[in-house]
Chain A
Amino acid sequence: DSGVTQTPKHLITATGQRVTLRCSPRSGDLSVYWYQQSLDQGLQFLIQYYNGEERAKGNILERFSAQQFPDLHSELNLSSLELGDSALYFCASSVEGNNEKLFFGSGTQLSVL
């Protein structure tokens, strides 16, 4: 158990809908990362937060947004969902977000039908 908690584990929704994925980092970790994993693209970095502030942005679509709350949990919001958004979404956390190992949650499997 990595100590990173993601909910829900599975999510099935329809095109055009909006969903929210939730992540609780390991106790004491200040930085949260979101990754998308699909069969054809591998693990793609989406966005990083550190202590409530956005620190780095990757290949995140404008339809997607995230935030980190004062209690350090994070949410990833996906809107106007398309079939191609179906993927595993992972949250990871680290202590300071600087050149250190990440601890990953078990992921949320999103299926857009």
Chain B
Amino acid sequence: GENVGLHLPTLSVQEGDNSIINCAYSNSASDYFIWYKQESGKGPQFIIDIRSNMDKRQGQRVTVLLNKTVKHLSLQIAATQPGDSAVYFCAENMGGGSYIPTFGRGTSLIVHP
């Protein structure tokens, strides 16, 4: 997982703000990317995914952007809520027959009411 990194280890926001969590990856052959949320005492929970043939995908209050040119992935959370407080991981499947998600170190999101 050392090639999947996050720029900010901790992100603090106010309730209602939009949050952006960034992730850099180094393997240009990676073809599938996933964001997970991990709350304290729980396992990682799937949020949203994107394949390399797309550059944007939207879910409920979340958007993932993929920039293959600079090998960058971001997760945008709209109208952040206290329940969004958690550690967020990006993971990549490196392609070439590897279907094992490789996780980055994670970003801790703290939402202040």
A64 interface residue (CB < 8 Å to B) = no
Interchain CB contact under 8 A, B44 and A58: no
The residues of A that contact B46 with a CB separation of less than 8 Å are: 101-103
**Chain B 22-65 residues near chain A, CB threshold 8 A:** 31-32, 34, 36, 41-46, 49, 51
Q: Is the CB of A107 within 8 A of B43?
A: yes
Which B residues are in CB contact (< 8 Å) with A107? 42-43
Interface residues of A (CB under 8 A from B): 2, 4, 33, 35, 42-45, 48, 56, 58, 90, 92, 97-107
A-B contact sample (12 more), CB < 8 A, given A100-B99, A107-B43: A42-B106, A43-B103, A56-B99, A92-B43, A98-B99, A99-B99, A102-B34, A102-B46, A104-B44, A104-B45, A105-B43, A106-B43
Q: Which residues of B contact A (CB under 8 A)?
A: 1, 31-32, 34, 36, 41-46, 49, 51, 89, 93, 98-106
Sample of 11 A–B contacts (CB below 8 Å):
A33-B100, A35-B103, A42-B105, A42-B106, A58-B100, A90-B44, A97-B99, A99-B31, A99-B99, A102-B34, A106-B41
